[in-house]
Amino acid sequence: MSTPILAIDIGSTKICAIIGKMTDGYVEISGHGIAKSQGIKKGTITNIELASKAIKKAVDDAKRVSGINITTAIISISGAYAKSTNSTGVVNIPNNDISINEINRVMQTALYNANIPNEFEILHVLPYKFKIDEQDYIEDPYGMNASRMEVDTHIVMTAKSSLENLKKAVNAAGIEIGKVVLSGYASSIAVINHDDKERGIAVIDLGGQTSNLVIHSGNAIQYNDFLPVGSNHITSDLSIALHTPLDTAEELKITKGSLLQSETVENVKLPIIGDDKNLNVVSLDIVHNIIYSRMEEALTILAKSILKSGLKDDIGSGIMLTGGMTHITGTRELAQALMPNIPIRIGKPRALRKMPTELDSPEYVTAIGLLLYETGEFTEYELDRKKSMLHSKEYMPKESLSDIAINSTLSQQKPKISVSQPSFEEQSANELFAELSKEQTKNQNNPIQSFVEWAKKIF
């Protein structure tokens, strides 16, 4: 039976906890819990006690549904906490054979060259391009022959104090932190496929109070950005402009919100803040214009960020929009109008075994992505926050021709040496056995025969 996994998406509007496991090679959901966020604003912890209560409620609900008690979780961290930089590592390959150890060495070199400030802690070191000797754009260097290897990495880091506050909130809920994953990175894992990775893609997660952008090009993410604007800002704009309570503005956004022009004129009656007797009659055109202005602002800033990255020409698969804000009708059409030369589509989380209908929605992509990350869908050879390299390769020592040629107890007892020629010790042993095998006597009292038997035992 596989080990259960607890994934917690700590968002600004909701906390989503999912318990899952691997069954017959497939990810299966055992239970989930959702709680309204408290003590979190624009992606940052503002009240540890309130945040821990919300986390605990979501986790307890997931445990109750699944019947599984688990105390360690993989969690998301907002882009509000994150900073990033790029770094390059170069190493020589002594034996001209690229093993896991050599790849780890070049990754650690890239991290060392980045000179991360003491007050920051790394979250991810993501290799997006390998180069061996004069050959560029290597997809996977493992097992290749080369004398020199180079890697370009994208490093995501966070302030230690910010991570410590997040840790305190999670620990107060009775949960220990295992892995920590950038929320935009987790979202991309849940929505993009192999073809998207091959061609390059930008993933924009439009959340409640924040929006995250990641660009996957090459073997991994090359760029990430954060915008402290989300669908809650639309609710706030509606409340202020129409002088109506926030809960009414939220319901209006969900039920009547649209970015498309309507051919019919429709009015709605809204309660007025401070006036319990009268209602305000408002045209839906006004409502739509307010929503349009805020959405246009957010998408325009994100479009400029894509241009700033210098990777616009590398996203052959276009832009994937996801997150709860995409429920507003016309989101894709507006984004397409603002970025006319880039294909744009809405992304939903990948379907998993026993996935509840409630989770089959864009606002849960981060939580699903965390679950997939923990089951092995990380970037190959990335370094995590403990500076450990994550990979899917099984370590198999490569046998040399000399090991295959020697059919004796020597090859079973001595360690195998991965070189093209046998070592000096192996050559000496071969010569010794060759001479000893010429002796034909079988007499147990014969001193030469005794020496032969003794030598076989030694070697």
Q: How many domains does the chain have?
A: 2
pLDDT tens string 353-383 = 999 999 999 999 999 999 999 999 999 999 9
| Mean pLDDT, range 66-70, rounded to an integer | 94
pLDDT exceeds 50 at position 402: no
Measured distance CA(140)–CA(389) in Å, rounded: 15
CA atoms within 13 A on the CB side of 61: 15
Residue 436 within a domain: yes
Please, which pLDDT band fits residue 137 given cuts at 50, 70 and 90? confident
78-82, 273-277, 303-307: range with highest mean pLDDT: 303-307
Q: Exposed, middle or buried, 7 (CB in 10 Å: 0-12/13-18/19+)?
A: buried
Residue 378 within a domain: no
Q: Measuring CA to CA, how many Å separate 10 from each of 147, 234, 396?
A: 45, 21, 39
| Structural domain boundaries, residue 405 | 401-458
Spell out the SS3 assignment of 402-439: HHHHCCCHHHHHCCCCCCCCCCHHHHHHHHHHHHHCCC
pLDDT at 407: 35
pLDDT exceeds 50 at position 272: yes
Q: What angle do CA 294, 296, 301 make, to 5 degrees?
A: 100
pLDDT at 453: 58
Measured distance CA(139)–CA(125) in Å, rounded: 17
Please, which pLDDT band fits residue 1 given cuts at 50, 70 and 90? low
Residue 146 within a domain: yes
pLDDT exceeds 60 at position 414: no
Please, which pLDDT band fits residue 275 given cuts at 50, 70 and 90? confident
Q: Where among 104, 139, 155 does a domain terminate?
A: 155
Residue 408, number of CB atoms within 10 A of its CB = 13
Structure-derived torsion over alpha carbons of residues 36, 37, 41, 47, reported in degrees to the nearest 10: 140
pLDDT exceeds 90 at position 203: yes
The two tokens of residue 248 are: 């009414």
Nearest C-alpha neighbor of 224 from the set 311, 287, 138: 311
pLDDT exceeds 50 at position 123: yes
Q: Exposed, middle or buried, 204 (CB in 10 Å: 0-12/13-18/19+)?
A: buried
Measured distance CA(95)–CA(421) in Å, rounded: 12
pLDDT at 442: 43
pLDDT at 386: 92
Q: Measuring CA to CA, how many Å separate 49 from each of 78, 146, 158, 188, 409?
A: 19, 54, 22, 30, 65
Q: Where among 128, 155, 182 does a domain terminate?
A: 155
pLDDT at 401: 34
The enclosing H or E element of 165 equals helix 160-172
Residue 232 within a domain: no
Residue 100 within a domain: yes
pLDDT exceeds 70 at position 447: no
- Whole-angstrom distance between the N-terminal and C-terminal Cα of the chain? 43
What type of residue is 444?
A: Q
pLDDT at 450: 56
pLDDT tens string 35-59 = 999 999 888 899 999 999 999 999 9
Residue 172 within a domain: no
CA atoms within 13 A on the CB side of 448: 10
Residue 442 within a domain: yes
Q: Where among 155, 173, 192 does a domain terminate?
A: 155
CA atoms within 13 A on the CB side of 412: 7
Judged by average pLDDT, the poorest of 76-90, 218-232, 309-323, 418-432 is 418-432
Residue 282, number of CB atoms within 10 A of its CB = 19
pLDDT at 2: 78
pLDDT exceeds 50 at position 424: no
CA atoms within 13 A on the CB side of 233: 19
| Mean pLDDT, range 115-137, rounded to an integer | 93
pLDDT at 395: 55
Answer whether 340's CB lies under 8 Å from 242's CB. no
Judged by average pLDDT, the poorest of 299-303, 414-418, 452-456 is 414-418
Residue 119: give its domain's CATH number.
3.30.1490.110
C-alpha of 386 from chain center: 15
The two tokens of residue 106 are: 């070049």
Residue 422 within a domain: yes
The dihedrals phi and psi of 62, each to the nearest 5 degrees, come to -65, -40
Percent of the chain with pLDDT over 90: 73
> Which residues, in sequence order, are bridge partners of residue 18?
7, 32
pLDDT at 405: 35
Answer whether 391's CB lies under 8 Å from 381's CB. yes
What type of residue is 158?
A: T
> Which residues, in sequence order, are bridge partners of residue 258?
329
